[in-house]
């Protein structure tokens, strides 16, 4: 879904959120809590207003040549590869930190053994999956 269509959906959702309490007051339903009615109008207004602002901002940026040039540079092949590599490195660091924390917590006796072993198996599966994808990409490229 492109950004423009998403903003239009947010506008429709915001307006409908603002209109629901008005319709509920006309129907006089007692099942709907009062706090829900009081939250819906500001929520809908904020959602619709921010979507309108986003559309205006997007329209202004499409006319800016420098912005278009920056977007092309941002999404070129080199920068995409750099982003992917940074994501892989940070993911591996996060996974290793998670495993270390689980090991420490398991050593203190705070989590059951089956959870410790499950996370260990996930770590091993991650390593083998990484190796298989790496070899597959080497053959493909």
Task: Give the residue extent of every domain in the chain.
Answer: 3-72, 90-140
The predicted pLDDT at position 12 comes to: 93
Identify the segments of the chain with pLDDT beneath 70.
1, 26-30, 32
Burial 101-129 (b: 16+ CB within 10 A, else e): ebeeebeeeeeeeeebeebeeeeeeeeee
Q: What is the spatial distance between Cα 8 and Cα 3, in angstroms, rounded to a whole number?
A: 9
The predicted pLDDT at position 40 comes to: 85
How long a stretch of residues is the chain? Answer: 141
Measured CA distances, 79 to 1, 44, 74 (Å): 23, 38, 6
The predicted pLDDT at position 109 comes to: 83
The predicted pLDDT at position 29 comes to: 62
H helix and E strand count, the chain: 5, 0
The predicted pLDDT at position 1 comes to: 67
């Amino acid at each position: 879904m492109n950004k423009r269509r998403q903003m239009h959906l947010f506008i429709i959702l915001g307006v409908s959120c603002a209109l629901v309490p008005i319709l509920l007051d006309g129907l006089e339903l007692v099942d709907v809590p009062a706090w829900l009615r009081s939250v819906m109008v500001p929520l809908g207004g904020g959602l619709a207003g921010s979507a309108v602002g986003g559309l205006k901002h997007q329209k202004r940026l499409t006319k800016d040549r420098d912005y278009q040039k920056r977007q092309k540079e941002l999404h070129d092949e080199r920068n995409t590869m750099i982003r992917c590599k940074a994501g892989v490195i940070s993911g591996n660091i996060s996974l290793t930190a998670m495993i270390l924390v689980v090991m420490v917590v398991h050593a203190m006796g705070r989590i059951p053994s089956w959870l410790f072993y499950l996370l260990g198996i996930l770590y091993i599966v991650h390593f083998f999956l990484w190796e298989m994808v790496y070899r597959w990409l080497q053959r493909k490229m």
